[in-house]
Each structure stands twice: as C-alpha cells, then as structure tokens.
Copies of this chain bind each other. A is one copy, B any other.
Amino acid sequence: MTFTQSLAAAAQKNDSLLCVGLDPDPARFPAHLQGRPDAILQFCAAIVDATADLACAFKPQIAYFAARRAEDQLEALIAHIHERHPGIPVILDAKRGDIGSTAEQYAVEAFERFQADAVTVNPYMGHDSIEPWLAWPDKGVILLCRTSNPGGSDLQFLDVGGPGIQERLYERVARLACDWNSSGQIGLVVGATFPAEIARVRQIVGDMPLLVPGIGAQGGDIEATVTAGRAPAASALVINSSRAILYAGQDEHFAAAARRVAEETRIAINRYR
C-alpha cells in the first residue's frame, strides 16, 4: 500500500482528516511523567492510544526527540503506532533537504531507521534533492510550499512570474511539485493562516495531498481551511493539530483531555468537508 492509499484508508475508516502532531516538550508533561527516562515515549504513546481512532495520521516532530538524545524513543514510538494501530500512517516532520548522496542518507534515516511512511522535505535545493526520496515507492514526500509563520513570506511570497505574470514562489513550488510527481508520492505543506493560498495551491495541484498545520494553538480557522483545501480524494487534505491536543490536560488524565480536543477538532473539520 502506498502512503497516499494508506492515508485515504485511514481517513475513511476513522472519518477523519485530523493529523495529530507529536511535538513532545517534557517541560509541559504532567507531573507523574516528569523525570522518567522514557517520559517522551510514554507521553506520546498515551496520546497516540487515546486518539488513534480519531486520526488519519500521526506526525512526530523529530527536533523534539533529537534535542534530547531520544531517537531511540522516536523509533519505539513509531514501532508502537505501526504495531498497535496498523493502517494509520506516520509522517516524520523532519524538513530535510540536501543533494543526492546526502539526501539518500536522510531517506534511509526516515524510512528505514524510523520506519516513517512519509517525511517533510524542504524544496530549496530543487529536483535532485527530491528524487532520492522517491526511490522508496510506497513512501510519501511532503514538500514545504507555503508556511504559516510570519517569515514565511520572506521568500515564499516573492513574485517569480516574470514580466506581466504574477506567480509567487510558493505557487511555483506547487507547480514544480506537480512536474516532479510522476510517481504520485508527493504532497505539500500549506499553512492554515492563509486560506486563500490554500485554495490557490489546491487549484494548481488537483488532488495532491495537502498537509495543513496551524490549526489550534497556531490559530488557523477550521472552516476557512477546510473550505479552501477540500478535494474529492480522501487523501487530499490532512489537517494537523499538535499543541492544542497534546497539552489539553495537565494532570494524569492528559490523554483523555487530548482525546476530547481531538474529537472536537475532528467534528469541527467534518462539519465543512
């Protein structure tokens, strides 16, 4: 099964476009987990188990693990998801980007070591920084296109269209992503704070999966996001929420609190599909 197929299957089975982002910050963990050597794994696995029937994907953010020498916990977490919740794809949020031989090493890291089903990749170095990832035909490669942070416009909003034609850099990335996507493995990251730009990207890329962070703690509006990004394919829209779910509760019932927020978010998204 390819990444796109498993994403579509999970979205249909759980009637959900919600991706639960796993950005584990130990400073925000409930007291009973503080100081445990496997606290990151325990926290994330509890969130996963509480939300797996409400999500179409999980998205661990590797930086939170790498900063704490916790790659082993990331490996164990992804293995846990595959074993306990088979069929829910894992998107490794790593935003890697490098040329040929080095990109191959990063792909080994993401797909073989961590057993991710898809990975986020930075497009700044162009097509031959993307190709090595596509050598794993059942894996997904989700390129940064338009990010929702204030500095996202510094490069992504520049006009690259030439005389008389307006084309923003993020639009060009969307167009190139279509050119590079003969194998159907590519998706795009498009931030939720710019619904008009989600709509523009959707117009360019057809049914290509769009991963939209920025819901919840980052303040993106759900109705506008879903309306702008929806498409017929069940795998076409993945809406990520991380902190609003992870840190919904502060005590030993944190996983139940996370489940409540995940369920509310799933329902809010479905209202506009």
Contacts and interface: CB of A to CB of B under 8 A. Distances in A.
Interface of A: 23, 25, 61, 63-64, 66-67, 69, 71, 95-103, 105-106, 108-109, 112-113, 122-130, 144, 147, 149-156, 158-160, 162-163, 169, 172-173, 176
A34 to B, nearest CB: 18
Contact of A150 (B96, B126, B144): B126
Q: How many copies does the complex hold?
A: 2
Centre residue among A98, A152, A158 by max chain B CB count within 10 A: A98
A233 B18 CA distance: 52
B113 A67 contact: yes
B169 A160 contact: yes
A85 to B, nearest CB: 24
Contact of A109 (B67, B124, B169): B67
A98 B126 CA distance: 18
Given A69-B71, A105-B64, A160-B160, A127 B99 contact: no
A258 B253 CA distance: 58
Nearest to A63: B105
A124 B113 CA distance: 27
A69 to B, nearest CB: 6
A128 B151 CA distance: 5
A232 to B, nearest CB: 29
B162 A109 contact: no
A155 B122 contact: no
Contacts of A109: 63, 66-67
Contacts of A153: 126
B97 A67 contact: no
